[in-house]
Amino acid sequence: MDYVKTSPAKELAPYDPDWFYVRCASVVRKIYLRPDTGVGALTKVYGSRERRGAQTERFREANAGILRFASPSARAY
């Protein structure tokens, strides 16, 4: 996973080599605190502002594929 971005708003991939394990732990904690949280809600939680130069910033949701792979409910099947 050297060439994956966590969101369309990000320009580069994460620098930390263990970023995926940190993200998995964060997803599991968020699901533990609020059960029945779906992937759509998690994309909004991990989303960020996209800088577009001179234009105004916009909110972009995070990559859902990473969150689907990291969530424990998706790993069950």
User: Is residue 36 one of the residues assigned to a domain?
Assistant: yes
State the total domains in the chain: 1
CATH number for the domain harbouring residue 54: 1.10.10.10
Query: How far is 27 from 55, CA to CA, in rounded Å?
Result: 32
Residue 52 domain flag: yes
- Establish if 4 belongs to a structural domain: no
Enclosing domain of residue 35? 19-75
Q: Is residue 5 in a domain?
A: no
Supply 55's token pair: 């234009």
Mean pLDDT of 47-62: 93
Percent of the chain with pLDDT over 90: 49
- Average pLDDT estimate for 3-11: 85
49 lies in some domain: yes
* Cα–Cα distance, 39 to 54 (Å, whole number): 32
> Which residues contact residue 34 at a Cβ distance below 8 angstroms, ignoring those fewer than 6 apart?
none
User: pTM for the full model?
Assistant: 0.82
What is residue 10's three-state secondary structure? coil
Is residue 71 domain-resident?
yes
- Eight-class DSSP state of 2: -
